[in-house]
Structure 1
């Protein structure tokens, strides 16, 4: 069935908003990832379709970082698996790729060094970037990636229908876990509203009082744009199933922190 997964990968690239960047991924990266990723992420699928979706998530994150101008946390282990492989395989080539397609080098920063607000920065910028095309109650694609891919040990995010709360759980060995999810402390409605996202009562739902459901509206919290002169070295970190709640590593480019 390898041919079918390869065909799906090609079709996915053609329909991706990051088609140009994905088509320019260096020859050899996928093969290196297929060989090395299972050593760092036991049980990770290594077919072409999984790879291209994980790589698309990484392109999405690079886009978010450069547009935010603030440190951002990566909410996907699948995307981070491609980043880690690329850093080991050809870090200089990765820097060149980022400069060419996203305007600057993007450092790989351990989650513990990102500081408070990095995950919120990613969420808000993703909403601002994709709000016009997402259903009001949907989470940004980058935050849904691991759950959609059933990434073992990945980050599972969902938006609860009746409360509008963003809930999170570390995915289990089967890439599942929605029933165990609980509200994410960094992505509360108050935090998102303070960051600039807007809410409205969900249409067509009969409810009243403080428990009335809310849905996301497209909105952009702003934040400084990235600096053309931004650059920093890249570092690598191992997979840690006990990492800070809700994200893998992260990156920053341009503007200062929170």
Structure 2
């Protein structure tokens, strides 16, 4: 009962509260019975579902803003999307048009074209802006932290090292591997090069890094002293196993 009450509280207090009230009444039960067949070991309690559903709506908000490919950084959110697509695809289209202005098509990573890291960068900037964060970083919005928070088995664990976002795959118990890969597309310089942030925003990021370095007496930025590893990076990904996403939306 406490779990159910807290799940309801999360949905009601979310900025998507009005839309969440219009989820199909049977979606939770359907997801609970079917998700474990697709995602081995996934928790199926009400709080997990609530957080995943909120994350999915965060993503719909990001993907609906333009036609560019926009990658979903959460398998937890994707589990709800998959269940909804199986249960009531036409109602999902109506829901998206009503609350986000357009249908968000589900596109598997291999079919999105280009680099999934490029599509993740689009999602990262839009999710930061929606959360009231600086689009250039370095802070991560809740959508990118979702899988790690709910301990999604084999989900995507995101963190920041030396001001650069990166990811690793969570293990079967949803535990985070700190040896992250930091794709250049997700760093502030990569966002600038892709036209996702302005030169002014990039300069503001650089200034914040300098101030943090000066205040800490270090020259390597806010990530110093961490065990995270950004020595490896991936500029092009073709599958969810090695990337921070396995699907997304964009174009309609």
In which range does the TM-score fall when normalised by the shorter chain?
A: 0.7 to 0.9
For residues 191-228 of structure 1, give each alpha carbon's deviation from its aligned partner in whole angstroms, at most 9, with x where no partner exists.
123331531225432223xx2348xxxxxxxxxxxxxx
Which residue of structure 1 lines up, in the alignment, with residue 165 of structure 2?
Answer: 166
Mapping for residues 150-161 of structure 1, pairs under 5 Å: 150-160=151-161
Task: Name the SS of the counterpart of 1:169 in structure 2.
Answer: strand
Which residue of structure 1 lines up, in the alignment, with residue 149 of structure 2?
Answer: 148
> 1:79, CA displacement in angstroms?
0.2
Aligned equivalents of 2:151 and 2:183: distance in 1? 19
* Contact kept? 2:67, 2:250, Cα under 8 Å: yes
Which residue of structure 1 lines up, in the alignment, with residue 18 of structure 2?
Answer: 20
Which residue of structure 1 lines up, in the alignment, with residue 221 of structure 2?
Answer: 212
Task: Name the SS of the counterpart of 2:158 in structure 1.
Answer: strand
Larger helix fraction of residues:
2
> 1:57, CA displacement in angstroms?
0.4
Gaps in structure 2 of 5+ consecutive residues: 224-237
Aligned equivalents of 1:185 and 1:168: distance in 2? 12
* Contact kept? 1:112, 1:244, Cα under 8 Å: no
> 1:47, CA displacement in angstroms?
0.6
TM-score of the aligned structures, taking structure 1 as reference length: 0.79
Mapping for residues 38-57 of structure 1, pairs under 5 Å: 38-57=36-55
TM-score of the aligned structures, taking structure 2 as reference length: 0.81
Tell me how many residue pairs correspond in the alignment.
222
* Contact kept? 2:76, 2:155, Cα under 8 Å: yes
Higher RCO, Cα 8 Å, sep 6+: 1
Gaps in structure 1 of 5+ consecutive residues: 215-239
> 1:13, CA displacement in angstroms?
1.2
Greater shift in the superposed pair: 106-115 or 73-82: 106-115
Mapping for residues 126-141 of structure 1, pairs under 5 Å: 126-132=127-133, 137-141=138-142
CA-atom RMSD, angstroms? 2.2
Aligned equivalents of 1:138 and 1:179: distance in 2? 17
